[in-house]
Amino acid sequence: MFSSFLIKYAEIGVKGKNRYIFENALVQQIKYACKRSEGEFAVRKAEGRIYVDALGEFDFDELVENLQTVFGISGICPMIQVDDDDFDTLSKAVVDYMDKEYPDKNLTFKVFARRSRKTYPMNSMELNAAIGEKVLDAFPEIRVDVHKPDVCLYVEVREKVYIYSRIIPGPGGMPVGTGGKAMLLLSGGIDSPVAGYMISKRGVKIDAVYFHAPPYTSERAKQKVIDLARLVSRYSGPVYLHVINFTDIQLAIYEKCPHDELTIIMRRYMMRIAETIAKETECLGLITGESIGQVASQTMQSLACTNEVCTLPVYRPCIGLDKQEIIDISLKIGTYETSILPYEDCCTIFVAKHPVTKPNIDIIKKHEHHLDDVIEELVQKALDTREKMVVRVDR
Ligand code: ATP
Ligand code: MG
């Protein structure tokens, strides 16, 4: 029954004179989401609001699901449009809407009428009362409750009349593209896709880097990361994924450094390489899925050691979340099922039985000097041989 949607957005409403930049970015992202959906759609901005109109057949659930990936949207309201705004026509349309939308009439409601033209013969108060009366007349079981209604019935008299009552939640956040770009260290785990989602939610475009260690990690492990990047790209838009062959660096560390410090030293090289690529590609920060205390390499001391090699800010949006809270987000955004596929990860293969949990930066740095003869060349080679791909959702 619906062919139009009112798109509600929250935070971008407060951006003063930058508002149009945010609105235009949001319209652009909504257009992309429509393109991924079956059917033809028109997206329009009018009177500080955004509307999506279906121009023919479309799949309601698919469109809503795609709109729910657009950061900046706080609510999606399926609505009825009535061309003629005389009271008789609009009140009939309201009654018809209530009938179809709420087959079970055992409910309370309140009318929220609005008119954008002050020349309309009735003001909002009069509209509220008159529409309410028509609904009550048509359905004896329905009652009015002005304090806690089950149904808030919105009737807006604008260039057309808009009728809606359901607000399907959007993802919130800010439209992608309004907040610069950051480089996500994307592993095959649960945390890093969630971290990418969370930063992207604030309007930031995402590029990603994955450290691959063939033959210790398989092609399937790499494919899993590509799949995760694709799932994140549903929200963030296309992701440029850099795949770094990390094997020789890991082997060198394994050969020359104390085994209880392997993970920390390896993480430091990941950060260094990620930062080099980030700077080349105009990323303004790095993103990781770290969370304090989750594993030995994520204690405060370990994080201090990995952080020390970076000059760009490192964003760790999962830092204060418990594992279960991260899992809940991954379930919500649809990455969990892929993340738990059991393929090996380069960190787990070279991991020591008893890694240091309180690494000392000076000692770590001293041990890193054992790599002096080879590391520069190995890092350069890893950078030169990186594989680059664009990962995006197809229709
Ligand atoms: P995740 O669930 O994201 O894999 P994790 O709990 O396994 O995290 P670690 O393996 O210690 O934690 O990694 C910490 C962070 O380092 C990850 O969240 C990710 O951002 C980054 N990272 C780890 N391994 C890789 C990798 N192979 N490629 C790219 N980034 C990685
Ligand atoms: Mg991991």
* Strand (E) or helix (H) holding 127: helix 124-138
Is the N-terminal amide bond of 215 cis, ω within 30° of 0?
Answer: yes
**What is the residue type of 198?**
M
Smallest-distance ligand from the CA of 211: 1
Cα 317-323-327 angle, rounded to 5 deg: 85
Q: Tell me how far apart the alpha carbons of residues 217 and 350 are, in angstroms, rounded to a whole number.
A: 11
> What is the reported pLDDT for 14?
57
CA–centroid distance, 271 to ligand 2, in Å, is 14
Eight-state DSSP code of residue 48: T
**DSSP symbols for 289-345:** ---TTSSGGGSHHHHHHHHTT-SS-EE-TTTT--HHHHHHHHHHHT-HHHHTS----
Ligand 1 contact via 289 beta carbon (within 6 Å)? yes
Distance between Cα 346 and ligand 2 center (Å): 8
Report CA torsion sign: 26, 27, 30, 36.
negative
Nearest by Cα to 15 from 6, 28, 4, 25: 25
**Tens-place pLDDT, residues 33-75:** 999 999 999 999 987 789 999 999 999 999 999 999 999 999 9
Find out whether the beta carbon of 288 lies less than 6 Å from any atom of ligand 1.
yes
CB-ligand 1 contact for 290 (6 Å cutoff):
yes
Mean pLDDT on 21-44: 94
Q: Which of 211, 235, 262, 222 lies closest to 329, judged by CA? A: 235
Phi/psi of residue 301, nearest 5 degrees: -65, -40
Q: Which residue, 45, 21, 136, 131, is CA-closest to 85? A: 131
Mean pLDDT rounded to a whole number for the chain: 94
Give pTM, 2 decimals. 0.93
pLDDT, one tens digit per residue, over 232-248 is 999 999 999 999 999 99
Confidence of residue 18 (pLDDT cuts 50, 70, 90): confident
Vertex 341 angle, CA 227 and 225, to 5°: 30
Q: Write down the pLDDT at residue 20.
A: 83
The reported pLDDT for the residue numbered 346 is 61
CATH of span 4-169: 3.30.2130.30
Question: What angle do the packed helices 247-256 and 262-280 form, to 10 degrees?
Answer: 140
In CATH terms, the superfamily for domain 181-391 is HUPs (3.40.50.620)
Q: Give mean pLDDT, residues 293-311.
A: 92
pLDDT value at residue 225 = 97
- Helix H or strand E segment including 109: strand 108-115
List, for residues 251-266, the tens digit of each pLDDT value. 999 999 999 999 999 9
CA pair distance 308, 311, nearest whole angstrom: 8
Residues 6+ apart with CB under 8 A from 311: 275
Say which ligand is closest to the CA of 295: 1
**Mean pLDDT value of segment 74-101:** 95
Q: Residues 92-145: pLDDT tens digits?
A: 999 999 999 999 999 999 999 999 888 899 999 999 999 999 999 999 999 999
Residue 1 has pLDDT above 90, yes or no: no
Confidence of residue 272 (pLDDT cuts 50, 70, 90): very high
Residue 59: CB partners within 8 Å, gap ≥ 6? 37, 38, 39
pLDDT at res. 50: 94
Q: 156-212 pLDDT, tens per residue? A: 999 899 999 999 999 999 999 888 999 999 999 999 999 999 999 999 999 999 999
Q: Are strands 108-115 and 143-144 parallel, antiparallel or unpaired?
A: parallel
Write out the residue limits of the CATH 3.40.50.620 domain(s) in the chain: 181-391
Mean pLDDT calculated for residue range 298-308: 94
What letter does residue 174 receive in the DSSP assignment? Answer: B
Ligand 1 proximity of 291 Cβ (cutoff 6 Å): no
Q: Where in the chain is the domain with CATH 3.30.2130.30?
A: 4-169
Closest CA to 333 of 11, 76, 68, 9: 68
Ligand 1: residue whose CA is nearest its atom 10: 347
48-58 residue pLDDT tens: 789 999 999 99
Tell me which of 186, 190, 191 to substitute to probe ligand 1's pocket, judged by most ligand atoms within 8 Å of the beta carbon.
Answer: 191
If one counts every other C-beta atom within 10 angstroms of the C-beta of residue 253, the result is 27
